[in-house]
Amino acid sequence: MQKTDGKISRFLSLILRHEPEKIGLKLDVAGWASIAELKKKCGFDLSTAQLERVVRDNNKQRFAISADGRKIRANQGHSIDIDLGLSATQPPEFLFHGTASKYMGSILKNGLEPQTRQYVHLSNTIDTAISVGSRRGKPIIFQVPALEMHQSGHAFFLAHNGVWLSRSVPSKYLLQIR
């Protein structure tokens, strides 16, 4: 059975970010999985070339292959406990978060929380936030004064694919701009 690149990408997101046990795959503490083991346990034909193409061409750069070419992992978005080895870093002055309008009440009350994920995801651009927020309905866009938060003791991390991560964003730091 041959799968399309899009289906493989969705499969990798599920297995490498949320449910490796679904196929009996072992991830190390940093989220890396053996490519040989993944190919053996995935349940469909998956060539190394196809896997490399999916990783390389993914528009959100969700995945990485290790320098030695033997392991793969998701760059961010995990709901399982993974240590990506990221160091806290100074963010830009402002970051953005896009979400669906149906979440407004909870966000205004509780701020941005990671929910089932390890981190809240933030973007450098309003356009990216709009794209993310549009996936589940009418988008609401928040501007986050990230540098101010950082200076107040909140840690920010930059994932390898350019997504900014934070443990949470209190509601007092949220400015709805759209």
Taking only the tens of pLDDT, the chain with its 178 residues reads 457 889 999 999 999 999 999 999 999 999 999 999 999 999 999 999 999 999 999 888 999 999 999 999 999 999 999 999 999 999 999 999 999 888 888 999 999 999 989 999 999 999 999 999 898 888 999 999 999 999 999 999 999 999 999 999 999 999 999 8
Q: How far apart are the C-alpha atoms of 53 and 57, rounded to whole Å?
A: 6
Residue 3 one-letter amino acid: K
* Domains, the chain: 5-74 (1.10.10.970), 95-176 (3.20.170.30)
Contact (CB, 8 A) for 81 and 20: no
